Every structure is written in C-alpha cells, then in structure tokens.
Amino acid sequence: MKDRYAVVGPAYDLISNLYSGKSIQRCKVAHLDQLQAGDKVLFAGAGHGRDALYAAQRGAEVTVVDLSKTMLTKFSQVLEGDAAKANVRQVHSDIMQFNEAEKYDMVVANFFLNVFQRDMMVKVLAHLIAQGKPGAQIVVGDFAFPTGNIFSRMVKTVYWYMAVIFFWAMAGNAVHNVYNYPEFMKSLGLQIKEKKHFRMLSLNFYWSVLGQKAA
C-alpha cells in the first residue's frame, strides 16, 4: 500500500511544533506517568515517537504499529542511542490487521483516530479497546472538542480545519468535524477517568482523555 506519509512524514515534528508550540508533545505524554515497569503498552501510530520512547524509559514494554514506513523510520531515528529501545517493538501494519487481543495494560491513540471518517474511526477505536486487558487504560490524545463561548468555539473549529485540510492535501486523511472522543469512548463501554487540556493562546486546543475498560 502507498505510504501516504512519505512526503509529510519527514517534517512531522517541525509541523507539529510550528502549529502547536509544545502543546501536542505535552498532550501525548499526559497520561503515561501512570505506567509501571513491565506494563505492556500499544501505540497506534508512531507520530514523532517521543511518547513511545518515554513509555519505554519508564520500563514499559512498548509496541508501536504504523502503516507508514516513513513514520517508522523516523521513529527508529528517535530511538537511536537510547537504551530503552530494547523494550520497543515496531510493527509495520494496518492497525486493523494487527490483533493481540487483551494483551495490553494501556493502549494509546495519539492524534491517530482523526485520520478516519466517523464510522471507520469508531471501528478502529473499538478494535484498539479490544487489544487491552480487562481493566486496561485507553488513552486518546487529540484536538479538543470545541467548547466555550461562540468566539472560542469558532476559533477552535477554524484551527482544526486548517490542520485537517492540510493533512488531507498532503496525506489524503479524512476531512470531518472535531470528534467528541469521550462520548465515543463511553458508548464503547469505557469509563472516563480523566481529561487533561492543553492550552495555546489561552484556549484549550488539545486534550488527552483517559478511559478504562471494565475489569
């Protein structure tokens, strides 16, 4: 399958930092401090890779799944010279073809689900939840659902569409409205444990949502 991130992938970090400052990076590691040594954690999508590296540095056994060879190559560069890379497994695969049901203590989808149209996003989220053990933590970090006064909602919506249209043009990602992830997570049986927001220009543009499967 064509690597849709072959063009934009090498500049992924730069684009992220220019667009969000450090907000996206902070969002991606927001709930990883709950990991314990020996925990098994699955990352859907490599992204810039520093969240997965952080998990490995905490002693977790990390699996990263990505369909883009470009993004996995970038991730390998992040791991170079770090002793924690011994705890990292990279899998070049469509996430829907990857199945290790009820293996993981935590499943992380950072800025991953937004590449799909709504119906497919729900299927992917359900598949990711299935990879977690009973009682597993499920983390979704992404653009926050627009809330606040009309001006705040308008700014957040425009900010979202600027990003989604860019990635549609560069990588063929889906164009859709901002997803209210906690509602989808609850509909799939998760208990929402915590939401952490990350601000830029005094507005909450990003959030990390922590859900938990029933034990």
In this structure, is residue 51 part of a structural domain? yes
pLDDT (mean) for 72-99: 92
Whole-angstrom Cα distance, residue 45 to residue 113? 9
pTM of the model: 0.95
> pLDDT value at position 81?
83
> pLDDT value at position 84?
80
pLDDT (mean) for 135-146: 98
Tell which residue, 15, 37, 17, 40, has the closest CA to residue 27: 17
pLDDT (mean) for 145-170: 96
> How far out from the chain centre does Cα 10 lie?
18
In this structure, is residue 14 part of a structural domain? yes
For residue 91, give the 3-state DSSP assignment: strand
In this structure, is residue 4 part of a structural domain? no
Residue 160: pLDDT over 90? yes
In this structure, is residue 202 part of a structural domain? yes
Question: In angstroms, what CA-CA distances link 96 with 3, 66, 75, 150?
Answer: 16, 11, 21, 38
pLDDT (mean) for 39-67: 96
Residue-range definition of the domain harbouring residue 206: 9-212
Q: Is the dihedral of CA 144, 97, 11, 25 positive or negative?
A: positive
pLDDT (mean) for 118-138: 98
What does the block give as tokens for 166?
Answer: 């860019």
Number of domains in the chain: 1
What does the block give as tokens for 4?
Answer: 């849709």
Q: 20-43: per-residue pLDDT in tens? A: 988 999 999 999 999 999 999 999
In this structure, is residue 189 part of a structural domain? yes
User: Taking all residues of the chain, what is their mean pLDDT, rounded to a whole number?
Assistant: 95
End-to-end CA distance of the chain: 37
Whole-angstrom Cα distance, residue 135 to residue 115? 27
In this structure, is residue 1 part of a structural domain? no
Whole-angstrom Cα distance, residue 100 to residue 168? 30
Residue 85: pLDDT over 90? no
Residue 1: pLDDT over 70? no
Tell which residue, 51, 212, 38, has the closest CA to residue 136: 212
In this structure, is residue 135 part of a structural domain? yes
H-assigned helices in the chain = 12-20, 23-28, 50-57, 69-79, 118-131, 150-171, 181-187
What CATH code is carried by the domain that includes residue 149?
Answer: 3.40.50.150
In this structure, is residue 3 part of a structural domain? no
